[in-house]
Chains A and B, each alone.
Chain A
Amino acid sequence: MKALILSLGAASMVAPAAAPAAEDPVIELSLLDLMSIDYQPGKELPAWVRSLDGRRVRIEGYMALGTPEGVDKFELVWDSCGCGQSNVNHFIEVSLTEETTSFDPDIIWVEGTFSVGEIREDGFVVSLFRLKTESIG
């Protein structure tokens, strides 16, 4: 089935934390929008961001520099140099379910199930956005 692309504007109107369904449209998401939120650990995320939890999204960015070869996780960032990623809302932790990494310096697209929420270790938020995908587009 050809995926229906919705803009982020439409995404902000969908019900929060909906379980993905076969007919769910793919929401096109921009890392720039995620980076522009006023994020502080412990502070509630904007409704439009929370509404993306569990949804199928498509997002573009770069593999973070230093991504090792042959692993099943990498950080997706907006800048190819990684110069602007000082905060935890500046990257998406991408998990690959059917392949492993092969570093690509070019801009890439990933599509998969998005999850939103703080994961903490030792009191620090180590992950805010995650995406599970089969492969890199």
Chain B
Amino acid sequence: MRAAALLCALAALAPAQDEGDPRAEAERLLDVATSGSPRIRFQAALRLAALGETGSSLVRAQIERDRGYLGLGPALYEALVEFDDLRLRAAVWESLEDTGNPWRPAGARALAKHPRSEETARFERLLKDHISAVRAEAIAGVAAGDEGHAIHALMPLLEDENGRVRRRSAAALAGLGEHHALAWLVEDLRRDDSWFDMRLGRIARAEAAQALRQLLGREALSGYSTRNAPDTPENAATIQAIEARCRDLAGEDWPELPDIARAPGTIADEVIGVELRSCRYGELLLRWTADDRLVVGEGDMHILELPEGATARLLTRAESALGALGDERSFGDPGCDLERYHIKLPESLRSTTIQLTKGPAAVPNLRPAALHPVAEAMIKSAGRVGIGNRWDRRVEVTFEALGGPLPD
């Protein structure tokens, strides 16, 4: 059915030269979907899906012949569920079991876009994934299943360590009639925290505002601007009004929010930090304050005391690295793997950023040698705080998955 609808929608755009030869057209589209401009790969993949068996047989052959799904590239991989072919859908599910798969969030998103009732248990397993983006995408798949079951499965995610996961679960629960979950979204309208120059509060506000618009109607947030601080008179008035409306909906179920869901306060004197985002190992945010505290994650929930002088020693190494790197701040090619250092030197108003980026494949020597002492010191400093659960190894592995191994 979906393939037929796509065919109708795309028929007007099909180029004339290959109309008489579906196989040739399918091969052309496969080529564009795998190696054309990133802007049009997904469209080509959808057109390929609309060709029915001609398209899907070509894709199946490509998977068998090449290196499995990894040879398809991210756009065609995400479009596999758009083919009217359950074997390709099964291939996406199978690929999610592969921890080396760099596109697991995209796979989860694609599957959850068109969920099937018999897949509820599989979606539920993804709610416990180590990558927050996978958990966030799986929520829609769970929410589409049995209502009571979905509510039970989604409730724990209201205390997830990741803000986006909490917002998505709150929105899904509110959509299922659990109006108390609106409290999470209303609270995020009040967030104004930042992580160095990343204004995480503003991102949270924008996502919460969008969810509330979808749940309560566009007019509900009329007057609320995510650009402005939440305590401006207009924003504060809108938040007050929307909270009153949500409290009415929730009645006696309006909750006392857990600490993790509360708008975080400002972390004073953050001077050096690293943002590690890996397609395979998830994300890790670490920042050190001038008074020797390590703040783990986005908010202000996990703050650990460090030995005196720990941050100063780290900052000294970072200053040396900055000197050695000169004006170079960005290394590698665009991709989902990111290792980004934030260094706020004394007297500076803004932090200096150095970023390494790459795609799924390992890139030898991606991290410049000048940064190795900084990475090494961060691993030691963060790893020794004794969080447990193999935390020290997790820090090291995440660094190595991004910028590459450190020299012995």
Binding site for B on A (CB under 8 A): 5, 7-10, 12, 28, 30, 32-33, 36, 40-43, 48, 58, 60, 64-66, 80-84, 86-88, 103, 105-107, 109, 120-127
- Cα(A127)–Cα(B37), bound, Å: 12
Are A33 and B213 in contact, with the CB atoms below 8 A?
yes
**B198 and A106 within 8 A (CB):** yes
Chain B residues numbered 65-124 whose CB sits less than 8 Å from any CB in chain A:
74-75, 78, 105-106, 109
A124 with B221: CB separation less than 8 A: no
Q: Is the CB of B333 within 8 A of A32?
A: no
A125 touches B40 (CB 8 A): yes
B226 at the interface (CB under 8 A from A): yes
Contact B209 A30 (CB under 8 A): yes
Q: Is the CB of A82 within 8 A of B336?
A: yes
Instruction: Across the interface, name the chain A residue whose C-beta is closest to B78.
Output: A86
A12 and B220 alpha carbons, distance in the complex (Å): 13
Q: Is the pair A60, B12 in contact by a Cβ cutoff of 8 Å?
A: no
> A124 — which chain B residues lie within 8 A by C-beta?
13, 32, 39-40, 43-44
Given contacts A105-B340, A105-B353, contact A41 B43 (CB under 8 A): yes
B202 within 8 A of A: yes
Query: Are A7 and B223 CB-contacts (below 8 A) given A30-B209, A123-B13?
Result: yes
B105 CB to nearest A CB, Å:
7
- Please give me the residue from chain A that is nearest to B338 by CB atom: A81
* A106 (CB) vs chain B CBs: closest residue: B197
A126:B40 contact, CB within 8 angstroms: yes
| B62 on the A face (CB < 8 A) | no
Closest to A11 in B: B218
A-B Cβ contacts below 8 A, count: 115
Interface membership of B10, Cβ < 8 A: yes
Contact of B218 among A12, A65, A107 (CB under 8 A): A12
Among B46, B74, B227, B355, point to the contact of A109 (Cβ < 8 A). B227
**Chain A contacts for B217, CB-based, 8 A:** 9
Known: A28-B227, A60-B226, A126-B37. A9 touches B13 (CB 8 A): no
Q: Given A42-B13, A87-B43, 8 more contacts at CB 8 Å? A: A7-B221, A7-B225, A32-B207, A36-B214, A65-B334, A88-B43, A105-B353, A125-B40
A56: min CB distance to chain B, Å: 14
Q: In whole Å, how far is B79's beta carbon from the nearest beta carbon of chain A?
A: 8
Residues of the B chain whose Cβ atoms lie less than 8 Å from the Cβ of A12: 218
A107 touches B202 (CB 8 A): yes
6 contacts between A and B (CB under 8 A): A7-B225, A58-B227, A60-B226, A60-B227, A83-B105, A86-B106
Across-interface contacts of B224 in A (CB, < 8 A): 7
CB neighbours (8 Å) of A120 from chain B are 13
B387 to chain A, nearest CB (A): 25
Q: Which of B225-245 contact A (CB under 8 A)?
A: 225-228
CB pair A86–B75 under 8 Å, yes or no, is: yes
Known: A42-B13, A126-B37. Contact between A9 and B340, CB under 8 A?
Answer: no
Chain B interface residue count, CB cutoff 8 Å, equals 57
Give complex CA distance A47, B227 in Å: 24
- B199 proximal to A (CB < 8 A): yes
CB contact between B222 and one of A9, A33, A48, A123 (< 8 Å): that residue:
A9
A32 with B335: in contact, given A105-B340, A105-B353 (CB under 8 Å)? no
| Ranked 8 nearest A-B pairs via Cβ | A66-B334, A9-B218, A65-B334, A124-B40, A32-B210, A9-B219, A7-B222, A9-B222
B14 within 8 A of A: yes
Residue of A12, A40, A83 contacting most chain B CB atoms (<10 Å) = A83
A7 to B224 Cα, complex, angstroms = 7
Determine which residue in B74, B106, B227 has the highest number of CB atoms from chain A within 10 A of its CB, and name it: B227
Contact B14 A9 (CB under 8 A): no
Nearest CB to that of B350 among chain A residues?
A106
In the assembled complex, the Cα of A36 lies from the Cα of B335 at a distance in Å of 23
Query: In the bound complex, do residue A107 and residue B198 qualify as a contact, i.e. CB atoms below 8 Å apart?
Result: yes
Query: CB of B346 within 8 A of chain A?
Result: no
List residues of chain B with CB within 8 A of the CB of A80. Answer: 198, 338
Bound CA span A80–B355, Å: 12
The answer to the question of B15 belonging to the interface, with a C-beta cut-off of 8 Å to chain A, is: yes
A28/B225 in contact, CB under 8 A: yes
Task: Enumerate chain B residues within 8 angstroms of A121, measured Cβ to Cβ.
Answer: 40
